Every structure is written in C-alpha cells, then in structure tokens.
Amino acid sequence: MSRPAAERAQVIVVGAGPGGSTAAWHLARQGLSVALLEKSEFPREKVCGDGLTPRAVRQLVRMGIDTSAPGWMRNRGLRFVSRGRTLELDWPECSAFPAYGLTRTREDFDQLLARHAEAAGARLHTRTKVTGPLLDRAGRVVGVSTAGPGGRERDFAAPLVIAADGVAGRLAVSMGIERLRKRPVGTAVRRYFHSARHLDPYLESWLDLRREDGRILPGYSWIFPLGDGRVNVGLGVLNDSRTGAIQTRRLLETWLARTPAAWGLREPGNAEGPLRGAALPMGFNRLPHYRDGLLLIGDAGGMVNPCNGEGITYAMESAELAADVAGQALARPAGPARERALEHYPAQMAYRLGRYYRLGRGFSALMARPAFTSLVTQHAVRSPGAMRFMVRLLSNLTDRPGTDAMDHLVNALIRVTPSPADHAGRRFAGAPSVRPGRSRVPG
Ligand SMILES: Cc1cc2nc3c(=O)[nH]c(=O)nc-3n(C[C@H](O)[C@H](O)[C@H](O)COP(=O)(O)OP(=O)(O)OC[C@H]3O[C@@H](n4cnc5c(N)ncnc54)[C@H](O)[C@@H]3O)c2cc1C
C-alpha cells in the first residue's frame, strides 16, 4: 500500500501538553494553518502537581480562558511548613499578575487547552505519534513522520516545526540537540488522596524534606488541594551527586507519616491510583532552542524554573513567544530573512529568562549543600518578610519595572546576575544591564 500524501500546514506542533496547545492556539489566532499532533487520546493522565501560580493564571487569562468556571480550584497563596513551624502567605499583589493561583488535574487541564486550540482553528490529531523529522537536503526540518492508530504511517509537511513533546525531547535529540548534563534536573513523584481538607485555600509546601537518616534534602513536598474531594500530594528533589540515589517512594512515605492527621494522608485507604513520577528538566538544560526549522518549547527545551520546579507557566510563555516568532518568520520569504526572524526566538528566551535561570541554578547549587539547606529550613519560616521576598524571587512574581522595594530588590538581583553563555559559548547583546556598556543576554 502506498504512503498517503503528506498533510500540509504552515506550522506543525508536536505534543499537546500545555506548551503545544498554547502554541497551537496562538498560531491559529494569527490565521496560520496548524497541525497539532499528540500521541495519546484525551482525556489522559500526566504526572504533575496540578498547581498553577499567578504567573500561569496570567497565561490562561491571555488565552481567554474563564478561570471562574466550574472545575477550577482557586488558591490564595502558599502555606510553608518547616521544622514544626507554619507560615501562610498570600500571593503578592502585582500589576502584571492576578493575586490567585489555581489547581486542576492535568487530565482535565490538558484536554481543555487542546480543545481550546482546536476551537481556535488548530487541527488536532490525537493517537498520532511523531516518529521522526523529515529533512530536506540541507538538513532542515520540513515536516515529521507519524504512526497513527494500528501503526498507520503518515507524513505531515510544514516549513516550521515546534517541538513540545516533553522532557525526553525526542524530536530535539533526533536533530542532535542533547541535554546539557551540567544543568539541573529534578525528580518528582505524586499521588492523589481523598482528603477532608480538599477545599483548603492554600497550596501547602514542606521545606524540610528528610531522608530516614535525618539528612535534609534539596527539594520540597507539597499538598495541593483540588476542590473535588482530593488533594495532589508529592515531592520533588534535585538530582545532585552529593545527595546520592534518592528513593522517592520511601521519602514520600516518611514524610506522609509526619503530616497532620486532619489531611488524612496517613491512611493508605485514602490514596487513589498509583504513585507516579517523572523528571523535571530545569534551567534551560537543552539548547539551542532553535535550529534548522525546529523550535523547542517547554520541557522539550528544559524550561522548568530551577527555583521552584514550576514548568507549566514556562511551557505556555515559551509557546506564546514561539508562535509570535513563527508568525513573523512566515511573513518573510524563505531564506536568510526568515532565518533571522527565527533566531529571535532563542535570543528572546535568553533575554527574558537567561539571567533569572542562571540565578536559579546558583540557588539550586546552594540548596544541594547540606549546611545551606539546614540554615534555610531552620530560619526561613520564622521570618515572614524574608519568606515574602523568597516567594517573589522563587515564583518569579515581580512587576518590571518594580512598584515597591521588594520588587526593586528582586529585579536588581536578577539584573546583576552575569549573563550565561549559550550552548556555543556565545553571549548575545541586548539585556538591560546595571552597568552601561556591559549588557549581556544569556542563553
Ligand atoms: C511530579 C511532577 C509534579 C509537577 N508539578 C508541577 C506543578 O504543580 N506545576 C507546574 O507548573 N509544573 C509542574 N511540573 C512540571 C510540568 O508537569 C511540566 O513542566 C509541564 O507538563 C511541561 O509542559 P510541556 O507542554 O512542555 O510538556 P508535557 O506536558 O510533557 O507534554 C508533552 C506532550 O507531548 C506528547 N508527546 C510526547 N512525545 C510525542 C510524540 N513522539 N508524538 C506526539 N506526541 C508526543 C505527550 O503525550 C504530551 O501530551 C511537575 C512535574 C512532575 C514530574
């Protein structure tokens, strides 16, 4: 049987997680023809904490999603627990971000976003697994090959492809874009529990994550109320040679045994479904974010925030930028002019997040030192002012330009962080610098 003719689009998006569906929505809204290819069928599970900070909510609002509709659970801030002390902090009041976060299971959330992209005009193909890139003679991506239901093979052709296929980054790897091994990676696990406190208005985060031998690890555990009778419970730890191999299941059990009885997490009968885990690719741990017609967004580009393990926001923000850049590039003739437009994507990603992620990588390196972790977990929760500052810094929630002293301090800290080099050792010009003439944009 002959292979059917390739289906054509102006942009192909591989993977319909939050990154892929957001990209497809923004592309479709520009009137571009978009093929959104997803290997699974919705609704489908995705291992996640299901937590959205105000920064993520802003992205949903930008896409016209009604977050007051049934199905969304609002939270008003974070509750920190450390060494027996508790501190509740509301989300900061910012001009740029709403003052609430949300939770929603990824089973629901991802389906909603994919349907939203479809409603905007994207052509969603589920049960369509991308098996590799199609390349022209120059090695440029001109489409992808797929395997559909029953192994049916089909090609999709487009001048641009967005890789939103998640942490394994298979499409990027097939183009020779490997993970940067020195950049941080975390491991996270989660499980659902039925809990009488499923309507609690705070996301709870425990900072003193202890191994059985008492050693405090770089990471945190969480209880995120879902408002549907359940809470999402889990933990994330930084993989670091100093911490050694971590048995996340044991770690979770040890922690659950410490949680107050009111949550109901010590009752194995309250658990629903298995414990599941996945890697967290952090701090731009895959570069470059653009090469030969392929743009990387979200986890495929290693974009999880190394400060707090948040990935959905950055998948959605990179998606919006990639869609904008793709639209500009396609408005130019193929060749050097279009290529120049496409190079704007990695440069902008670096400009927007490079210094911040470098600061975050420094913070995670410090957290891997037992003495520092011990100090932080002992003192942080005792000082509301310090924790307020940490929330703004670690959740990347400041106005720019700043509107109060704390904003100014966080923004200054980011500005004075030296810009890192990109994968090829280059430093781009253009980021605002505190010292004129020394501006650098990181990779
Ligand atoms: C335990 C855990 C807890 C977490 N908690 C949070 C949290 O509370 N908040 C937060 O913001 N982040 C959290 N994260 C991180 C977050 O889950 C990711 O950063 C986010 O899902 C990245 O979105 P994405 O669209 O880039 O990739 P993904 O969500 O991984 O989506 C990739 C999509 O591509 C599809 N795909 C893969 N390969 C192919 C292929 N070959 N062909 C077609 N389709 C393909 C997949 O099926 C999937 O639908 C957590 C992660 C873990 C592991």
The ranges assigned to domains in the chain are 7-76+101-181+283-352, 185-281, 353-416
Give the residues across from 276 on adjacent strands.
Answer: 190
Region 8-23 average pLDDT: 98
| Residue closest to 377 by CA, chosen among 244, 233, 254, 217 | 217
CA of residue 416 to ligand 1 center, whole Å: 32
Distance between CA atoms of residues 386 and 295, nearest Å: 38
Region 213-231 average pLDDT: 93
Inform me whether the pLDDT recorded for 68 exceeds 90: yes
Mean pLDDT (the chain) is 92
Inform me whether the pLDDT recorded for 200 exceeds 70: yes
pLDDT for 372 = 87
Inform me whether the pLDDT recorded for 149 exceeds 90: no
Name the CATH topology of 7-76+101-181+283-352: FAD/NAD(P)-binding domain (3.50.50)
Confidence of residue 435 (pLDDT cuts 50, 70, 90): very low
CA of residue 80 to ligand 1 center, whole Å: 25
Confidence of residue 315 (pLDDT cuts 50, 70, 90): very high
Region 334-344 average pLDDT: 97
CA of residue 223 to ligand 1 center, whole Å: 19
* Dihedral over Cα of 44, 184, 78, 63: its sign: negative
CA of residue 16 to ligand 1 center, whole Å: 9
pLDDT for 1 = 53
pLDDT for 431 = 38
Distance between CA atoms of residues 357 and 143, nearest Å: 31
Inform me whether the pLDDT recorded for 113 exceeds 50: yes
Inform me whether the pLDDT recorded for 440 exceeds 70: no
Inform me whether the pLDDT recorded for 436 exceeds 60: no
CA of residue 52 to ligand 1 center, whole Å: 13
DSSP designation for 210: B
Region 176-188 average pLDDT: 92
Domains 7-76+101-181+283-352 and 185-281 share a fold: no
pLDDT for 299 = 98
Indicate which atom in ligand 1 lies nearest the CA of residue 304: 19
pLDDT for 429 = 41
Inform me whether the pLDDT recorded for 330 exceeds 50: yes
Indicate which atom in ligand 1 lies nearest the CA of residue 146: 42
Q: Which residue has the tokens 């200054």?
A: 412
pLDDT by residue (tens digit) across 156-175?
999 999 999 999 999 999 99
pLDDT for 247 = 86
Indicate which atom in ligand 1 lies nearest the CA of residue 50: 8
DSSP designation for 344: H
Pocket of ligand 1 (CB under 6 A): 14-20, 37-40, 46-51, 129-130, 164-166, 170, 188-190, 234, 277-278, 280, 298-300, 304, 310-313, 315
pLDDT for 375 = 86
Task: Mention the CATH class of domain 185-281.
Answer: alpha beta
3-state class (DSSP) for residue 302:
coil
Distance between CA atoms of residues 147 and 237, nearest Å: 35
Distance between CA atoms of residues 317 and 52, nearest Å: 13
Neighbour tally for 140: CB within 10 Å: 17
Reported as type and span, the H/E element at residue 414 is helix 405-416
Neighbour tally for 379: CB within 10 Å: 14
Distance between CA atoms of residues 148 and 145, nearest Å: 10
Half-sphere exposure of 293 (CA within 13 A, CB side): 22
DSSP designation for 163: E
pLDDT by residue (tens digit) across 353-412?
999 999 999 988 888 888 888 888 888 888 999 999 999 999 999 999 999 999 999 999
